[in-house]
Structure formats: C-alpha cells, structure tokens
Structure 1
Amino acid sequence: MSRRRARTDQEWSVLVSASRLLLDRIPQLTDQLIGELQAHSPQFDLAVPRDEHWQQISEALRYGIEAIAAPRSAPRRDLAYAEELGRRRAEQGLPLDLLHHAYRHAGYLVWNELLAIVAEKEPEALTVLVHTAAQMWAAVDRQATTVAEAYRSTEQELNRRSDERVQALLDALLEGRAAPGLAARAAAGLDLPEQGRYAVVVLRVERQGGRETFHRVTAAPGMRFFWRMRTDCEVGVIALGDTAGLSELAEVLGGRCAGPGGISPVVEGLADLGLARRLAETALRTCAPDGSAGSGIVRLDERLPAALVVSQPELAERLVTDVLGPLLELDPADRAVLLETLDVWLECEGSAGRAASRLYCHRNTVFNRLRRLEHLTARSLSRPRDLITLTLALDAFRLTS
C-alpha cells in the first residue's frame, strides 16, 4: 500500500482558509443536511429527536471540518465522535444503512461547500483543492467505518442483553412465578402466542468421561424448541402449534436423545409453564435411576401410576415395606430373580410363555416363581386389587431409595 502524499504548504493554506469560513456556515449546513436526510427517509425523524439530531449533526460537522486542516498528529475528535454517534444510533434503532448514508451525504455536502468557498474567494486555487480530494474522502471513509463498527458492536451488546432478558422471563415462567404481565412480555420477546399449546421436557444431564453431553433438538415440523440449562438437567419449552402432539414430540426427542427424560402433558398457555415443568420433572423421576429399561424419553400421561409413587416418597417407602417386606429379607440375588420375573410378566401382559422367552427359562419356571412371590407377599396376582398393589410396590422399589 502506498503512503499518503504529504500536503504542500499551498494546500495547507487553502484548506485552513476555506475550513475557517466553512465553520461559520455550520448552522446552515446542519439545516440543509437534516432536511435532505428527512427527505431521503422519514426514519431519521422517527428514530432521533429533532433537537438532539440537530445538535449532534452540528457537532459531527464541526469535528469533521476541523479534521480537514488538522495536522496528522492532532487527536482525531471526528473519529471519537463518530464512535459515540454509532453507539447512540444503535440504541435508538436507526438502521445502519441510513446512518452510513448520513455520513457519506455529509461528506458530499462539505466537499461541495469547500469548492464553492474556494471558487468564490480564491478561484485560482481550485486545482490545488482538487489534489486534496483523495485525502478528504479517505477521512470520510474512515469516519463511516468507525461509526459502523461502533454501531455493530453496540447492536450485538443490545441483542445479547435482550436475549438475556427474554431468557430471564422464560426462567421466571418455568419457575412458576405469577408476576403481572410476565407471560405477555415473554410472548413478545420469544415471538410466541401467550395462549397456545405448549409442553415442557426435562432431560437428565449425561456425563461421559467427566464431560456433560447434550442432544438438543432445535427444530421439528410444527414445533419450536427453547432450551434452558440447569445444574443437573436441561429444560426445553416446546411450542406445539395447532397440529403437533405429544407422540410426535416423544418420537423427535427419542431419535436424538437416549434419555432419561420426562415430557409434561400439554398446557394451554405460557403462564402454565411452571406447572408443566413440575409435571415433566415428575415424569423424569419415573425413569429408573440405574438407566434400565423404561428409562428413555417418557410421557407423564403414560406413567401416571409410577408418577403417583414417586410423588409420595414416604408412602412409597411404606408400600415397599408392607407389600414386599418378606422379599427384602431374601438373598439379594434371589430377590432380584423374583422381582425381575414379576416385572417381565407384567410387561408381557400376563403371558407366562412370552415372559419365559424373555427370561430364557421354561414357562413352568415362571409360574413357580410367581407362585412363590404370591406366597411371600400373601397376595394373589389373579385378584385385581392385589395386582395393582404389587405393581405399585414394584415401581416404588425400583424408583425410590
């Protein structure tokens, strides 16, 4: 890149003389520039208060004109002010392309006025002024670059703060807070309907080799996902729209995450997300802590009996003691065989033959184990109430400490 040509004494003299006259015309130039900017786009008047706009353009013109004839070693007040204006216009929401247009248009206005002054006062110096054009437009370009960089940096910071505020609103909804207008503000921030079909999923954090792994779903047909991190879980809010249901949601999540995870029932608005989160956590607690079968992505509406058990730990403990007490006195391996046989027999819908295939034993062995279990618990699997009691006791044994 070639070095910038040094200005001659004659060029300095012309620029200093013209700049002094130009400084006296700043009020008129400000009025002209504001009028032309507002004619270009009404957004200038909508985004920036009139008095503030006039004052700031006047200052920017002053610093820019002073920079024209300033020594290279002089502080660049025009660039410092461009940075300040870039931040301010980002906060006011004026589009960056309009801000860039304003700086470029101001450059044309100042250049044309310089030409007019020199043509009027010292016409023979016009050729000298032309030699400084490249340097002047380089200064304008640098001002425009500075204002754009400050604008983008501020815009990113504002977006980050906005995202944090929206996430805080979502957290408040998931915690079940009942602040007035909370759901409406979250709906506006997330671009979601305040009333609509929503579900919450809670995924237990997986740790592999000391590291946490997640399987986030960000999009699916008819659904929108919003995720929040917790210490030991990940919480997702899913907008289901008008057509998607829990079965489709479970299929999507199951395809990306092995579990364990719990899905809440559908709720009808953002204000109910706190309830949905609690129900999803209850569904998650119905997953066996050891990661055994049935510990994938589960729906609360399909695990209600187990959900009742985990929701009442004191009663669950009493249920295990009263119903399975005699089994607890057995050798652990012996007890595990009987409980596994009952579990598989229930999963096979009471079919001893299918249970035997799953357990790799004869069907008579299944019958013998079940009869022994009936004898130890003094309950009959052929009586519906006893069957319900044994099923709940088995869930309580597997799901609680």
Structure 2
Amino acid sequence: MGGRRPRTGHDWKLLAEACTALLERVPELVDEHLRRLAEHSPVYGQVLPYDLHWRESEEAMRIGIETISAPRDSPRRDLAYAEEAGRRRAQQGLPLELLAHAYRSAGYLVWDSLLEGAAERERERLGALVRSATIVWSAVDAQVQAASDAYRATEMELRRRTDEQLQALLDALLEGRQTPGLAARAAAGLDLPEHGSYAVVVLRAERRDGREETFHRPVRGAGFRFVWRMRTDCEVGVVGLDAGVGLDRLAELLDARCAGPGGISPVVTGLSELGRARRLAELALRTCPPDATRVVRFDQRMPTALVVSQPELAARLVADVFGALLELEPADRAVLLETLDVWLTCEGSAGRAAGRLYCHRNTVFNRLRRLEQLTSRSLARPRDLIEMTLALDAYRLSPPPPLPVPSSRGSAPSTPLGA
C-alpha cells in the first residue's frame, strides 16, 4: 500500500539515518504542528483538548517517521493508527476535511524537517532524500486514505444509531405515549420546538415485499418543516407549520408533490399531541376511496369520517338505506349510485350533473326518482338527504363483503354489500 520501493541500498540507509535523527525532534515538531493547525482553523481547539491532541499527534508523528524508514515487509502501524484516529475524530465531531488537513500538514512538516537536516550535513544525504520523496508522500497519502475511510464508516454508523434513536422517539410520539419528558427529548433530538403548530400527514403507499421502514431527518420547505417516517403500507409525516401558514397551503403542496391519496390532521399545538393528530390523519385517509388521488383534510371530511370510524353502524346504514337498491343488477345499481354521487357533487343541479354524465337532465331526474322509490326516502327532505349521502359514502368506502360459502344444500343467498 502506498507504492513502496524496496527498502535496500545506500539511499534507504541514508533515509533511515535521517528519520532516526528526526525522532529526537518530535516534541518540537508537534508543538509547531499544533500551532499551524490552530492558525488554520479554531475548530481544532474547540473539538480537541490541547493536551490530548498533543499526545495523540506525538504518537502519530513518531509512528509515521518510523514507518518511512521501516523494512518493506514490516507491519503498517501507521495505517492502523490512522484508522483508529479516523474513528476517534468522527466520534469527537471533527470535520473530515480538518482531519485530512492535519495529516497532510504533519507530512509537510516532517518532509521539510528531513530536508533541513540533510542540507546541514551533506549533499549526498539531500540527494538521497529527494530520490526517496515518493516513499514519504506515498506513506502520507495512505495514512490520509486510511483515516478518511475509517472516519466515513464511523460517521455512517453514528448516524445510523442516531437515526434509530430519533426514529424510536418519533414513533413514541405518533403512538401517543405519555412518557414523562418524551416530547422534550424528541424536540432536542429532532431540532423541533416542543410547543408550536403541527399537523400529521398520512399518505397511502403500496405494500411492497421487502420494503424497509425508514426515517428521514427533518427537511425545511417554504413555511413547513417535514419529518417523514416511511412504513410498509403508508408514509407518515410530521409537519411543523410556520406562523401564518395554514392547512390549505399544505394540502396544495402535498397534492402537487405526492402521488396517491392522503389525509391531513387538524393543527395541534405541540409534539405531545402528535398521537391524536396521527389518528385523525389516518381517519381522513380512510375517507378516500381506493381510486382517489387527492390529499384531504380531516376537518373537511368529518361527516364521512364519522361513517368510516364506525364500520358496524356504517354497514347497518347501507343495508337500511340501500337495501332494495343492492338487489338490482350490478350495472343498473352502479348507474343509479353514480348519478346520485354526481348530483351531490354538482350541489343538486340536475343540469350540471347531466353534463357530466353525458345524458339529458330529465334522465337525471328519472334516475333520482327511482332512487327515492327504492330507498323510500326523498331527496327534498334534509334528514333523508343526509342519510342517503352518508349511506353513499359508507357504501363506497366499505370493504367488499366476503363471498358466500357454498353448502351441500345449494348456493347460499348473496349478502348485500356492506351488510
């Protein structure tokens, strides 16, 4: 490693003598080395206590000088020490570029000192050092590479551990745990205010085999700060809202950037309320039919949310309101329910509904009258209209009924959808 030449001959002998002589000056070189580092960046002194830094630099420089003149097959103590130093500096939080600079700065200092010592003695020694420059700088480059690789590996491991800790804190908040101090610890770890305006977003995601649950660190957008938690069947986002930013802007942003349906909770006033917000966001998502593509707000879907939150009552409502309708042929039933849905969307305008359905407005009226006959309800009566609207939501959002189980006595009667 480092492109070493064979360690034999007169040049190597002179190099070894120069290195041996330089070892006596290591304390002096370390003082100069730390002075130069302090001039280069004050971060060294902020991260590393001087006495500890001095001892570690002294050991690294001594090992490095001994390595330059060591026999070719000797163990690379300098690389082992560089790896250890890289791991240590990552744990201490020293930036990687400052770690690499420290190694190269020490390399320049050692090389200049070797040249100065040779020039004071004889030209032959100076020439031997110049011819050995590749050996010296290959060793320095190998040390920088070893320290950097170890630093990056340690940094990734530290980040993984930190992410796991933050993930656990976020999960505890979203589950609504009331552990003392939980919100404060999460606020410090996620760099979010403990008290402030938050919403929770739940986006539907297709289940994929082998998909891992992941945690994404906080990212800031225009007026928002997102922390995402990716799970196997959904994506959960905690959204910090800046002052003056409301849910309308959040819904617009998510609609523009997120594929598939989603639910947005009402605004809550602190991290400790995220559990309740998550449950309401999930309930908002449940109000979206399977083919939906919009992100909806809970506070704009509360009647439907009431329906989907009570599946047993929703099934009874469907059976009570649409009982006779469900006995029709599927195609006939679908036409009538689609007409009701479009008429409601058009705020009771038969003309607008006819335009969307590509039929005459009288056809819309005829279909609605047939619905009233089948349901024994009038769309002109507010209470009946509410029941039919909620029953339609329940019908569209209820899971399909199980298939009837054949018996030896013949086919079982079909079960109305949602019953």
Q: For the superposition of Structure 1 and Structure 2, which TM-score range results when normalised by the shorter chain?
A: 0.7 to 0.9
Partner-residue secondary structure (3-state), 1:131:
helix
Pair 366,102 (structure 1): closer, same or farther in 2 beyond 3 Å: closer
* Deviation by residue 1:319-368 (Cα, 9 ceiling, x = unmatched): 22223323333443443333333222222222233333333444344334
Pair 363,59 (structure 1): closer, same or farther in 2 beyond 3 Å: same
Structure 2 gaps of 5+ residues are: 400-419
Counterparts of 1:221-232 in structure 2, within 5 Å, are: 221-232=222-233
User: Corresponding residue for 1:75?
Assistant: 75
Pair 101,334 (structure 1): closer, same or farther in 2 beyond 3 Å: closer
Deviation at 1:85? 0.7
- Does the 8 A contact of 1:262 with 1:283 survive in 2? yes
Pair 365,149 (structure 1): closer, same or farther in 2 beyond 3 Å: closer
Q: State TM-score, norm by structure 1.
A: 0.82
- Distance in 1, matches of 2:4 and 2:177, equals 63
Pair 29,383 (structure 1): closer, same or farther in 2 beyond 3 Å: same
Counterpart of 1:376, as a letter, is L
User: Corresponding residue for 1:140?
Assistant: 140
- Does the 8 A contact of 1:86 with 1:151 survive in 2? yes
Q: CA RMSD in A?
A: 3.3
Q: Which stretch shifts more, 303-312 or 179-188?
A: 179-188
User: Corresponding residue for 2:405?
Assistant: none
Deviation at 1:147? 2.1
- Distance in 1, matches of 2:296 and 2:304, equals 11
- Distance in 2, matches of 1:143 and 1:295, equals 54
Counterpart of 1:271, as a letter, is S
- Does the 8 A contact of 1:10 with 1:128 survive in 2? no
Counterparts of 1:197-346 in structure 2, within 5 Å, are: 197-206=197-206, 221-257=222-258, 259-289=260-290, 291=291, 296-346=294-344
Counterpart of 1:158, as a letter, is L
- Does the 8 A contact of 1:258 with 1:297 survive in 2? no
Counterparts of 1:119-158 in structure 2, within 5 Å, are: 126-128=125-127, 130-132=129-131, 134=133, 135-158=135-158
Q: State TM-score, norm by structure 2.
A: 0.79
Q: Pick from 352, 356, 376 the counterpart of residue 358 of structure 1.
A: 356
Partner-residue secondary structure (3-state), 1:235:
strand
* Deviation by residue 1:175-228 (Cα, 9 ceiling, x = unmatched): 3233344334443444433333332222222489xx9xxxx9x87533333332
Partner-residue secondary structure (3-state), 2:296:
strand
Pair 145,368 (structure 1): closer, same or farther in 2 beyond 3 Å: closer
* Deviation by residue 1:278-337 (Cα, 9 ceiling, x = unmatched): 111111111123x2xx66322211111000000011111222222332333344344333
Pair 16,336 (structure 1): closer, same or farther in 2 beyond 3 Å: closer
User: Corresponding residue for 1:92?
Assistant: 92
Counterpart of 2:77, as a letter, is R
- Distance in 1, matches of 2:186 and 2:104, equals 40
- Distance in 2, matches of 1:130 and 1:333, equals 93
